[in-house]
Copies of this chain bind each other. A is one copy, B any other.
Amino acid sequence: MSPAGGTPPDWLLPPDPGTRRVARKLLAGIEGLPIVSPHGHVPVGLLADDAAFGTPVDLFLRPDHYAFRMLYSQGIPLEAAGLRPRDRAAVPGEPPDPDADRAAWRTFAANQHLFRGTPTGAWLRRTMELVFGIRTTLDASTADAVYDALAERIADPAYRPRRILERFGIEVICTTDEATDTLDEHRLLHLDGLGGRVRPTFRPDAVMEIAAPGWRAALETLAARAGIGIGSVAELLEALRIRRAAFRALGAVATDHAAATPWTEVLAAPEAEAIFRRALRGAASEDDARRFRGHLLVEMAGMSVEDGLVMQLHPGSFRNHNPTIFDRFGPDKGADIPVAVDFTHGLRALLDRHGNDPRLRLILFTLDETTYARELAPLAGHYPALRLGPPWWFHDSPRGIERYLDRVTETAGIANLAGFNDDSRSLVAIPARHEVWRRSVAGWLAGLVVRHVVRDEEAHEMARDLAVDLARSAYGLPEGSVPGAA
């Protein structure tokens, strides 16, 4: 996205000169603020080990479903993008074959034109420049030079993960962790004094999806971790409570829930129990799964009322839409496809029970942009418990951010938003992702100023809110709350 020679100062700002002037000033007021990253998927082991990042392909292609899905869509096999099929999976710790790795990079480089106008392209170019000081335009002719330059930087201890946290002012970063996680790595980070800065997030999807193949195994692990037997719904809930406490003890501020749909309902105890028993027998139907998940979501909201963990819900992705790819390569291979969702009916049961309780903080994310103005803004503009998460996944792009702000703020204001989170799997991409958000916010707010919708000083406050302060307040991470952060 950035021209060769480096990112111009007006990158992503609106073209009208008067609006651009205002946007520049707004941006100047927020570009240096610390980064608060309350939701993302950086592997905690990366920060616990603080080892070097691996190869450029490990950093920019192999783990990035945005990147390799685009190559795949143009007929390039995933293997050629550096991925290994399940049956030829890497031995842990084994480095990739250097020739294959460099070949994957060359393929990536030679296909950079595919990313024109995409946020994936923008994040890549900006991260290479910002984090690694590489301004060379990546293409077939520069592939090797860029690979070598990146490899050299990666080998330098100055580019280790924890140094990235410091250099870019990442004040706090929340990882995402299975409910069954040992949390050993988070414990290690605590011992290293990074406990408040790197925090776990409680994600119990695997133990809530009673019709999924791995559910029984996940349940058994949960029982083992919680140290109780799980033979009933009450015991399942108790085990979840025990694990939530363990996560909170290590600094967790939130839970995180994916769901095929936003459906919630309150099952009568005997009905919940009957479904659970069918699930234990391996006989739960898809409808059982939907209803039981809906029931557990209401229970999880109730636990959040009790223990204060912010609840995050992001429904509406058809996971692993492509069975061929799933069978060969596993999940998260770029084949999760959004579907239309109905928050208005779906969340009724949960909100009826807990939506008026100011102790609950429920943050909603959507992949169905039609719900921004139709459902989410009206819901968040009414229920005290609700906040709206930022545009997510396919939508945290410059245009996606603009659509989001246009559609939610007129009804919900900005105080009902949860600010930004980068949702990144890549630690090094975090600064670029926040920069895209901050630049887009500055440009959008400048549009309000020049149309005299808000005053200049109001826009400056709104910019700070959207850049950091709303994320802090939504997740309970106020300034000064993170020991060791600047």
Residues of chain A touching chain B, judged by Cβ–Cβ distance below 8 Å, are: 1-4, 7-8, 10-19, 69-70, 72-75, 113-119, 122, 318, 321-325, 334-340, 342, 344-345, 348, 351-352, 355-356, 358, 367-370, 373-375, 377-384, 386, 394-395, 397-400, 403, 406-407, 409-416, 447-448, 450-455, 458, 461-462
Using A324-B352, A345-B339 as known contacts, say yes or no to A452 and B2 having CB atoms under 8 A apart.
yes
Shortest A312–chain B CB gap in Å is: 18
A448 touches B117 (CB 8 A): yes
Shortest A49–chain B CB gap in Å is: 32
Using A73-B382, A338-B375, A339-B344 as known contacts, say yes or no to A400 and B410 having CB atoms under 8 A apart.
yes
Q: Which residues in B have their C-beta under 8 angstroms from that of A339? A: 342, 344-345, 374-375
Complex A-B, nearest 3 residue pairs according to Cβ-Cβ distance, in ascending order: A15-B450, A397-B410, A75-B358
Shortest A52–chain B CB gap in Å is: 31
B338 touches A413 (CB 8 A): no
Supplied contacts A1-B454, A370-B370, 17 more A-B pairs, CB within 8 Å: A7-B452, A12-B453, A73-B381, A74-B384, A74-B415, A113-B461, A114-B413, A116-B462, A117-B410, A118-B410, A321-B379, A338-B378, A339-B342, A339-B375, A370-B374, A398-B451, A399-B407
CA distance A2 to B69 in the complex (A): 43
CA distance A359 to B336 in the complex (A): 23
Identical copies of this chain, number: 3
Q: Which residues in B have their C-beta under 8 angstroms from that of A400? A: 373, 410
Q: Which residues in B have their C-beta under 8 angstroms from that of A415? A: 73-74, 113-114
Q: Which residues in B have their C-beta under 8 angstroms from that of A4? A: 455
Using A400-B410, A410-B400 as known contacts, say yes or no to A69 and B114 having CB atoms under 8 A apart.
no
Using A15-B16, A73-B386, A374-B369 as known contacts, say yes or no to A322 and B117 having CB atoms under 8 A apart.
no
B462 touches A117 (CB 8 A): yes
Q: Which residue of B is nearest A446, CB measured?
A: B15
B318, B352, B373, B450: the one within 8 Å of A394 (CB): B373
Using A322-B356, A344-B337 as known contacts, say yes or no to A406 and B399 having CB atoms under 8 A apart.
yes
B15, B72, B355, B462: the one within 8 Å of A451 (CB): B15
Using A113-B415, A379-B337 as known contacts, say yes or no to A325 and B453 having CB atoms under 8 A apart.
no
CA distance A395 to B406 in the complex (A): 11
A15 touches B19 (CB 8 A): yes
CA distance A322 to B381 in the complex (A): 13
Using A115-B413, A373-B394, A452-B11 as known contacts, say yes or no to A321 and B338 having CB atoms under 8 A apart.
no
CA distance A63 to B173 in the complex (A): 44
Choose among A3, A12, A318, A381 the residue with the greatest number of B CB atoms under 10 Å from its CB: A381
B352 touches A378 (CB 8 A): no
Using A370-B370, A375-B337, A409-B117 as known contacts, say yes or no to A324 and B356 having CB atoms under 8 A apart.
yes
Q: Which residues in B have their C-beta under 8 angstroms from that of A10? A: 451-452
Q: Which residues in B have their C-beta under 8 angstroms from that of A462? A: 116-117
Using A117-B462, A339-B344, A379-B337 as known contacts, say yes or no to A411 and B394 having CB atoms under 8 A apart.
yes
Using A17-B18, A339-B345 as known contacts, say yes or no to A122 and B369 having CB atoms under 8 A apart.
no
Q: Which residues in B have their C-beta under 8 angstroms from that of A369? A: 370, 373-374
CA distance A69 to B413 in the complex (A): 11
CA distance A156 to B115 in the complex (A): 49
CA distance A122 to B13 in the complex (A): 26
CA distance A70 to B377 in the complex (A): 11
Shortest A14–chain B CB gap in Å is: 7
Q: Which residues in B have their C-beta under 8 angstroms from that of A397? A: 410-411
B348 touches A413 (CB 8 A): no
A394 touches B409 (CB 8 A): no
CA distance A378 to B322 in the complex (A): 12
Q: Which residues in B have their C-beta under 8 angstroms from that of A386? A: 73
A395 touches B382 (CB 8 A): no
A73 touches B116 (CB 8 A): no
Q: Which residues in B have their C-beta under 8 angstroms from that of A407? A: 399
Shortest A40–chain B CB gap in Å is: 20
B344 touches A116 (CB 8 A): no
CA distance A411 to B397 in the complex (A): 9
Q: Which residues in B have their C-beta under 8 angstroms from that of A340? A: 340, 342, 370, 374
Shortest A72–chain B CB gap in Å is: 7
